[in-house]
């Protein structure tokens, strides 16, 4: 085993002969897909609504705009591939990076919501907005793809419940309470400083108000203590929009452990399994850790010579030397199996994180055209069609309906007072 410094010197040497202006081959060009699955799996994918808890299209377009109503060169999502895969309701992630806390978070959220609306306005024959489970079902019947919205990071609420109502009116139907850092609402799984030991006092009020309005609480990304706080406060089921099982990634607080999943099932909630390899296997998780360390050291060595091109060249060189240990479709099934064993079939969904996890997706599950590949693997594993339908979307639609019913009941009873 070579030491880290030897490796870094090796990569630095490789880079000296690679001009930063060398054209970077586009390995994302995969716009002529073919679904490698059985007819039975393809039929199931189209027979039931597929609701994906988390797809990062808006932020992807923010960085590199393409018209996703047509086939695109890059990315994991576009209309033709979504159709091919039978995807019906991808939750568009209104993603606010953690450093936007107190720094333009609300404006960014509004711009990203505009992005989603623009997709629908550009192609109203293909896409439709969706505020309720019913909207998703009727768009499905009408042959349109719904674009419901979830906000990833409550930073945009900026401590003001008026903003919560604003975003409810704009169509936000779940909020991931925090992202990579603790914010004014909650501690984060990725942040070692736990400033609230769970939810903040405002965070607890916010959860109650989300119940009242009918916005789902998303506990992906929050710390364990914040998860239990959210369960304590929420009167309706919550979701994990894109997390997997910690059993397979020991120590990764970002995923759910068995005890948490048992509590989530008792709450009636749904864990939507993330497809990113580092959420699925320990090997990919460890690769990610080592990569981050090496990259930080490399960037330090580069100092102010560092450019995005050099950084990209480092990625390539590192991956060449240490090939990425992609998970397989079987690893996704193993996570689903584990969740089923702990929580039961009614508490599992899919939160692929397409367009959000870069080049870490499992072999065979590279974009939104591939849901039938996963369905095939579930059939092979002995899952009944009715169970698969629950995983694809039935379970999360149930939670949406429960959340909507609670909010409707609440506004009715407060109108009677
Ligand atoms: Zn995320």
* Phi-psi label, residue 201: left if phi above 0, alpha if psi -120 to 50, beta otherwise: alpha
- Give residue-wise pLDDT tens across range 369-391: 999 999 999 999 999 999 999 99
- Percentage of the chain beyond pLDDT 90 is 89
- Number of Cβ within 10 Å of residue 58's Cβ equals 25
- Structure token digits, residue 324: 């990425």
Ligand 1 center to 104 CA (angstroms)? 19
pLDDT of residue 28 exceeding 90: no
Res. 413 pLDDT band, cuts 50 70 90: confident
- Structure token digits, residue 130: 């969706």
C-alpha to C-alpha distance for 316 and 67, rounded to whole angstroms: 27
- Give residue-wise pLDDT tens across range 332-382: 999 999 999 999 999 999 999 999 999 999 999 999 999 999 999 999 999
C-alpha to C-alpha distance for 415 and 417, rounded to whole angstroms: 6
- Closest to 178 in 3D by CA, of 163, 198, 162: 198
Ligand 1 center to 147 CA (angstroms)? 18
Contact 200, 158 (CB under 8 A): no
Torsion of CA 385, 389, 72, 359, to 10 degrees: -90
Contact 356, 391 (CB under 8 A): no
Strands 145-146 and 172-176, bridge-based pairing: unpaired
Contact 378, 391 (CB under 8 A): yes
- Give residue-wise pLDDT tens across range 237-261: 999 999 999 999 999 999 999 999 9
Ligand 1 center to 277 CA (angstroms)? 14
User: Which residue would you say has higher pLDDT here, 191 or 412?
Assistant: 191
Ligand 1 center to 151 CA (angstroms)? 10
Ligand 1 center to 172 CA (angstroms)? 16
Return the half-sphere exposure (C-beta side, CA atoms, 13 A cut-off) of residue 356.
29
Ligand 1 center to 246 CA (angstroms)? 16
Contact 69, 122 (CB under 8 A): yes
- Percentage of the chain beyond pLDDT 70 is 92
Ligand 1 center to 254 CA (angstroms)? 9
Contact 147, 129 (CB under 8 A): yes
pLDDT of residue 17 exceeding 80: no
Give the 3-state DSSP-derived string for 192-222, with helices as H, strands as E and coil as C: CCCCCCCECHHHHHHHHHHHHHCCEEECCCE
Q: Name 3's Cβ contacts closer than 8 Å, sequence gap at least 6.
A: none
Ligand 1 center to 393 CA (angstroms)? 19
Contact 11, 321 (CB under 8 A): yes
Ligand 1 center to 78 CA (angstroms)? 20
**Mean pLDDT for all residues in the chain:** 92
Q: How far apart are the first and last CA of the chain?
A: 71
Ligand 1 center to 15 CA (angstroms)? 31
Question: Nearest 5 degrees, angle CA 139-CA 78-CA 97?
Answer: 95
Ligand 1 center to 252 CA (angstroms)? 14
Strands 50-55 and 87-95, bridge-based pairing: parallel
Ligand 1 center to 12 CA (angstroms)? 31
Ligand 1 center to 217 CA (angstroms)? 14
Torsion of CA 32, 34, 35, 38, to 10 degrees: 170
Q: Name 116's Cβ contacts closer than 8 Å, sequence gap at least 6.
A: 57, 58, 92, 94, 129, 147, 149, 171
Task: For the chain, give every domain's residue range.
Answer: 34-281+328-416, 286-324
Please give the CATH architecture assigned to the domain spanning 34-281+328-416.
Alpha-Beta Barrel (3.20)
């Amino acid at each position: 085993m070579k030491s880290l410094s030897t490796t870094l010197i090796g990569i630095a040497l490789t880079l000296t002969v690679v001009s930063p202006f060398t054209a970077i081959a586009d390995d994302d060009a995969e716009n002529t897909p073919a679904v490698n699955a059985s007819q039975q799996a393809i039929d199931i994918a189209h027979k039931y609504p597929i609701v994906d808890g988390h797809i990062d299209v808006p932020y992807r377009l923010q960085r590199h705009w393409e018209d996703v109503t047509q086939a695109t060169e890059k990315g994991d999502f576009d209309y033709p591939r979504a159709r091919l895969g039978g995807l019906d309701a991808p939750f568009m992630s209104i993603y606010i990076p953690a450093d936007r806390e107190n720094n333009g978070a609300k404006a960014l959220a509004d711009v990203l919501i505009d992005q989603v609306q623009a997709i629908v306005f550009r192609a109203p024959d293909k896409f439709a907005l969706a505020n309720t489970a019913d909207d998703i079902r009727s768009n499905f019947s009408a042959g349109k793809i719904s674009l419901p919205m979830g906000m990833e990071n409550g930073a945009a609420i900026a401590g003001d419940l008026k903003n919560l109502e604003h975003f409810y009116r704009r169509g936000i139907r779940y909020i991931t309470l925090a992202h990579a850092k603790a914010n004014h609402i909650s501690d984060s799984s990725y942040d070692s400083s736990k400033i609230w030991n769970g939810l903040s006092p405002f965070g607890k009020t916010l959860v109650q108000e989300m119940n009242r309005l009918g916005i789902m609480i998303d506990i992906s990304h929050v710390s364990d203590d914040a998860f239990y706080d959210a369960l304590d406060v929420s009167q309706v089921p919550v979701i994990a929009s894109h997390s997997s099982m910690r059993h397979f990634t020991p120590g990764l607080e970002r995923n759910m452990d068995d005890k948490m999943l048992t509590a989530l099932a008792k709450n009636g909630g749904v864990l939507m399994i993330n497809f990113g390899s580092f959420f699925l296997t320990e090997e990919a998780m460890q690769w990610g850790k080592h990569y981050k360390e090496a990259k930080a050291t490399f960037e330090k060595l580069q100092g102010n010579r560092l450019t995005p091109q050099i950084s990209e060249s480092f990625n390539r060189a590192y991956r060449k030397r240490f090939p990425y240990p992609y998970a397989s479709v079987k690893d996704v099934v193993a996570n689903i199996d584990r969740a089923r064993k702990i929580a039961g079939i009614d508490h599992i969904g899919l939160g692929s994180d397409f367009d959000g996890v870069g080049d870490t997706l499992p072999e065979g599950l590279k974009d939104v055209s591939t849901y039938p590949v996963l369905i095939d693997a579930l059939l092979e594993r002995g899952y009944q069609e009715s169970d698969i339908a629950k995983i694809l979307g039935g379970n999360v639609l149930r939670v949406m309906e429960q959340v909507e019913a609670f909010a409707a009941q609440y506004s009715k009873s407060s109108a009677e007072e």
